[in-house]
Chains A and B, each alone.
Chain A
Amino acid sequence: MKHSTTKAIFLTAALTLGFAGREALAGPGVVIDSSRLPEQARASLKRCIAKVRASHPEAFDRVAAAPAMAASFDRTKRGPLASITLPLKALGREALFPMLNMVAVEGPNRGELSDTAWLALRVSLLEAIGILRDRRAEPVLEAILDGGPPEYEIDRAAAQALARIGSDEAAGKLIAMARAPGPKRLAALTGIGDCRRAAVAEALANLLARHPAPEVAGVIARSLGDVGNSWAWRTAVVAASGEEEATRATAARALVSAFAVYDGQARRLIGKAVLVVDHPSTPALIEAARAGAPADAAAELDRLAERFARNPIRR
């Protein structure tokens, strides 16, 4: 429908589908029911929602249009899933509570949204919430991760959103999930990379040092690379923790060590993560790893050193 009609007709369609108006909100949230929140957190969230609804009703109206947007993007999507994260992000900070409201308190009925449009809506809301890096979203995100049946894309997006907030509590929660076996562990391991904290780097380094299966090692390496991502650390938001050196050094050390151990796709992912972290200690770490490595691993380490020397993020 995206293309066949004018803007006005889209609005009409959205209203017809029951997405655009507040009347259509039927609860619970599109991801969880607020009953899964601790009582105090639930009450606090509802108070905040009411307050923002009074002061910025237009923000709710805009977020209320998200399902229609998801339906539209889904029809024209390329790749497995559409994303409306950018438009939601563009709504700014005032959209936080309207989005949390839709996620956990009173969401619209699914209506005729396809499976992929419904998923796109929920994932995008969580991603956009995470981008705002607001601690007031933590209870909702933790509740998503704590309960309910595993749903990888939702759990990954919730973990990533929590990771972006990056508080001590968020980091602790994600580290615990990454360490413990469980149905949501993979989602946590994937999402944790946006939690750029020294404790997270240390935890992931320890997990990698245990030499998990190559598939898991690849996921951990990617996340460790994200944690130590040198360009992310250039930004004030991330650098504010003051943990850059500890985090990136730990990531580099663990990744170079693992590079010599794995092969195939896992080694490839680990190598990319080494480049993303781009820590100055890397040449020395490679040299040290090379000393005790078998011939084939030593040759790959030489290649890694050569790639690191011409790291494309440093040209």
Chain B
Amino acid sequence: MRATSTLLCTALVCAGLWGCSGSSGGDDDTDTDVPIIDLRADANRDGVVDLEDPADDEGEDVWDASHGAIFMANIDDDLGACSKDASQTDEQLAACNDAADEVVNGTDDLADMARLLVAPWPGAPEDASAKLVLSTPGASYVRLFIDNAGSFELFPPSRAITAAELREGVELALEGKDVVRDDTVWDGYIDVTLEVDAGTASDGTAYPDGSDTVRLRIAPILTTHHLQPAQTLFVSKLDYPEYYVYRDSIQAAVSAADIPNGLVELDVIGEDVWTQDFFEAGYMTMPAAGGQQHVISVFMRSASNWGAPAGQLRPSGKLVFTYFRGKDAAGLMQRGSGDGNGLDDGGNLETIPPYEYNGQSYPFGRIVRGSTPAYHPTESFDRMLASQKIQTPVAVDTSWLAVGHIDETMTYLKTDSPRGWILLANDPNMAIQMLQDASDEGHGAVELFVGMSWSDDATGDYIPANISIDAILADPDLMAENAQAAIDVADQVDTIKAETGITDAEIVPVPFLHWEQYGASAAYQPGTTNGIALSDTDYGAPEPHGPVIDGHDVFKVQLEDALAPHGIEVRFIEDWEELHMWTGEVHCGSNTIRAVPADVRWWESGR
């Protein structure tokens, strides 16, 4: 039924009109006496709720790869109203966001909400009314606002839609109050049903009542992978000469890679050099007009308690609220019932790039974490990640590592291949073989770690770290540890192979040695898998300080040669004194914001 409308047209809402699409007593759309009972959402995901487009009507009550509207957790801070005061408690900081109140905080806030339309029923009698029924448990996680002459105001669950509003049509905005944290409690879906008490026709007969339902799914949090271009690189801002060596070195790599927003130093709380570990950058998207996506960046505070008093989280994690939260940028905290452990650090939350395998497609890749049944990150945080559904987490055994982070032994880089990426995996066997070859060629006296020390800034002593090739090969403790590490890394790689189907030809072995500390393993040489995907053609790796033979560091040459066929140049970054010596490397001491992919949409996965 064509009909005239006074419904407001906005950028997101086109208010041409179609007749009823919900269940009603009428069979004939052309009968002006038939109630129009039509609730619309952006079921066709074109960013517009269109009463003239049947694609926003068909399949509106299902949610699959091709149908179903989307809304977002409105947990950013568009007006910058939340306090940046880091002296607030963890809970106080996390509690503030745009969804914490019952008002629409400006046009940017409104843009974070999904629109719903109740189509006008010009002939609605005076005794007609309607209500919106929200399914449970989703009803507890969303809030509705109604357009009242251009101003959106709270639409409480108990409020009825009047006959006058039915005649004019109604525009609503729906916001999520939180992300999905546990899909066994709420899976992120909500059904919104328009139930119309159609009232009495002019001939005194009752109009048939009816209803119409739309299904929406909340946008998941997605983490970024290394095929997404780096936009901004972060390091901690620390003020002492030794740190400047690292900072300046990484600055040079960032400049060489031409990262658009360059290097940003974060004012960390305390002396938290491990920039990777206190937050993880992600994002949420929903369709926007013109084929665009509306994006809210999500900065997840790690559940780590590094440097924190008992019962509190890592202090620098507050930066997700005090620094990153703002317009279209959310801070998020998910803590467990107890203190976190080292596996909660961001360095133990990486993302395998996109792939298809065994009939399953992961267009946004998969989260990968070090985790075993006996030694794992905070369960509630893992539950939250898994509940997003799109990047189903992969668990890899890192329990043998002293730090236990997934970034210690493997990383992923872009390449021109059907898969589109390669896996860089630590290979202690190759490291030993390289040293053995050098020794066999008469270079056994050549030293590694020349000019490096183990502890000078801690004690004032300079304890040289240099050691000869032959001394390493003769060291039973190093040799034993590296045999074990080679097998443990291979076990990790087997897990990735089983999950992704990646083949040996797509795996680049990266040699460096381990050493044992308190029964666990740590990188003895700077761990060159623990680097940064700076760009498609630049990889930032720690300076290995390997043996220099014939004027070349053989470990640098090896890595450069291994990545050159993939069009990748290695930018070596000096991190010995500030990171390596403390069982971390350049990935641990940095963090990255990456571009949101424009050509792939999570909702097309149907998950």
Write the residues of chain A forming the contact surface with B, with a CB cutoff of 8 angstroms.
1-8, 10-11, 14, 20, 62, 65, 68-69, 72-73, 75-81, 83-87, 90-91, 123, 127, 131, 153, 156-157, 160, 164, 190, 194, 196, 225-226, 229-232, 234-238, 265, 272, 275-276, 278, 311-315
Contacts and interface: CB of A to CB of B under 8 A. Distances in A.
Given A10-B458, A14-B459, A90-B464, A276 B484 contact: yes
A232 B480 CA distance: 5
B258 interface: no
A231 B482 contact: yes
Given A69-B458, A76-B582, A276 B483 contact: yes
17 contacts: A3-B240, A3-B242, A4-B239, A10-B459, A62-B463, A69-B458, A78-B402, A78-B403, A80-B342, A83-B583, A85-B517, A86-B454, A90-B465, A231-B432, A234-B479, A235-B476, A312-B486
A157 to B, nearest CB: 7
A265 B488 CA distance: 14
Interface of B: 238-243, 271, 273-274, 277, 306-307, 341-342, 345, 372-374, 401-405, 427, 429, 432, 454-461, 463-465, 473-477, 479-480, 482-484, 486-491, 515, 517-520, 522, 578, 582-584, 588
Nearest to B436: A234
Nearest to A78: B403
Contacts of A238: 476
Contacts of A235: 473-476, 479
A75 B271 contact: yes
Contacts of B271: 1-4, 75-76
Closest A-B pairs by Cβ, 8 of them: A83-B517, A72-B458, A231-B483, A232-B480, A87-B454, A312-B490, A11-B460, A65-B459
A164 B476 CA distance: 9
A72 B242 CA distance: 15
Most buried by B among A81, A153, A235, A312: A312
Most buried by B among A11, A68, A194, A313: A313
Contacts of A91: 463
A313 B487 contact: yes
Contacts of A7: 456-457, 460
Nearest to A126: B518
Contacts of A127: 517-518
Given A69-B455, A78-B584, A84-B455, A231 B480 contact: yes
Contact of A65 (B306, B404, B461, B588): B461
B524 to A, nearest CB: 8
A8 B460 contact: yes
Most buried by A among B402, B432, B459: B459
Contacts of B457: 2, 6-7, 10, 72
Contacts of B461: 62, 65
Contacts of B374: 265
Contacts of A278: 483
B348 to A, nearest CB: 10
B484 A225 contact: yes
Contacts of A236: 474
Most buried by B among A86, A156, A276: A86
A68 B238 contact: no
A157 B465 CA distance: 23
Contact of A68 (B429, B458, B490): B458
B176 to A, nearest CB: 35
A68 B459 contact: yes
Given A127-B517, A156-B519, A315-B429, A230 B483 contact: yes
B538 to A, nearest CB: 26
B472 to A, nearest CB: 10
A2 B486 contact: no
A196 B475 CA distance: 14
A3 B243 contact: yes
Given A4-B271, A65-B460, A234-B479, 9 more contacts: A3-B242, A5-B240, A65-B459, A77-B583, A78-B306, A80-B518, A83-B517, A272-B488, A313-B429
A123 B479 contact: no
Nearest to B517: A83
Contact of A312 (B240, B403, B489, B517): B489
